[in-house]
Amino acid sequence: MRWGIVGTGGIARRTVGDLRATAGCEVAAVASRAQANADAFAAEHAIPRAFGDRDAMLQSGEVDAVYIGTPHTSHVEIAREAILAGKHVVCEKPLAMTSGEAAELGELARGHGVLLLEGMWMSFSPAMRRTLQIIDAGEIGAPRLVQAGLGFAVPQEARRYWDPELGGGALFDMGVYSITLACLVLGKVVGIEAVGHVQDDGVDLESAITLRFEDGGAAQLMTSIVSFIPPRGWIGGTKGSIDLGERLFSPASLRVAVGRPPAPPEIRDEAFEQEGAGYVPMFRGALEAIGNGWTEHPLHPHARTVEVLRTMESAQALLRGAG
């Protein structure tokens, strides 16, 4: 699979090595809004083709799939162009700024027979797959509660986080992980409460969100770009719990506690190796889906992307006092 990377910023630098390290994947090209940036990135990462025009890369016969690593608000347009050009797409999170746009992109990908995958690497991480296995095996009983958080004090120089035009704020950037975890474990959201701080320009600084789920479960999630929140989560079930060790998006460990009170719970720790920077399992999943002719991957299907975005939209409206 010959991949073209769109964008030459922070995340592209982090994922390029993992893309290349994934068996069956080749990094064939990079596209930037500026030829000089594309040339520099290609030289630094030994990529054969550098495009100063994204469209030229998308129309190129040298690329089969694209990885989109640009700011949130540009995702939909680039993903749509790529799908229309017949390319498979892995696009950074969040896939879109609205659930409607994400749903439309999913339909478009289905219609064109190409993969569309939001870059939710957490769902492909070995620890998360193991978590679902433990839950499916009934070890912790029925999952009822999730608590998760992720946040750090983002410096002002990291412009993307502070710019409303680029989808700035904590919720869509970091909250997306906690909300995805909650939906992954508890299913469909039927109630939302949110408190937090939003700047006058609409950028959300921090929030505490409570979700209620169709099956009666609940989640409490925190996110921030002004304070540090340990990147962790836990799941409470009717027979036990799973504590996801740091870091939430690619946990290195799990602590499973199972017991029947008043006896103390039996505790088991499991550790996980991270492949590369942690993105290899996701790219391997993309390759698996493409090989099978799937337009979405069952570990992170379009419906989950849409559900999480629907939840973030509602939380954002509540935070802005419009919900």
Ligand X SMILES: NC(=O)c1ccc[n+]([C@@H]2O[C@H](COP(=O)([O-])OP(=O)(O)OC[C@H]3O[C@@H](n4cnc5c(N)ncnc54)[C@H](OP(=O)(O)O)[C@@H]3O)[C@@H](O)[C@H]2O)c1
Give the interface with ligand X as residue ranges (CB under 6 A): 7-11, 32-34, 37, 69-72, 74, 92-93, 119, 121, 160, 173
Give the residue closest to ligand X by C-beta: 9
Least gap, CB of 141 to ligand X (angstroms): 32
The sheet carrying 218-224 orders its strands as 189-198, 204-213, 218-224, 143-151, 229-237, 240-244, 253-258, 266-271
What is the DSSP track for 126-137? HHHHHHHHHHHT
Q: Smallest distance from the beta carbon of 13 to ligand X, in angstroms?
A: 8
Closer Cβ to ligand X, 30 or 319, answer by number: 30
Q: 206 or 256: whose CB is closer to ligand X?
A: 206
Q: How many CA atoms lie within 13 A of 208 on its CB side?
A: 5
Q: How far is the CB of 270 from ligand X (least distance, A)?
A: 23
Q: Which of 212, 86, 226, 244 is nearest to 170 (CA)?
A: 226
The position carrying tokens 């602590």 is: 255
Q: Nearest approach, Cβ of 134 to ligand X (angstroms)?
A: 24
Check: CB of residue 221 under 8 Å from CB of residue 185.
no
Specify the pairing of strand 116-118 against strand 143-151: unpaired
Q: Six-digit token pair at 221?
A: 């999630």
Q: Please say which residue, 96 or 185, places its beta carbon nearer to ligand X.
A: 96
CA distance linking residue 201 with residue 212, whole number of Å: 29
Residue 159: CB atoms within 10 A of its CB come to 12
For residue 42, the minimal CB distance to ligand X (Å) is 11
Instruction: Judge contact between 61 and 87, C-beta under 8 A.
Output: no
Nearest distance in Å: CB 71, ligand X: 5
Residue 7 vs 106, nearer CB to ligand X:
7
Q: Output 140 or 282, the one with its CB closest to ligand X.
A: 282
Closer Cβ to ligand X, 74 or 147, answer by number: 74
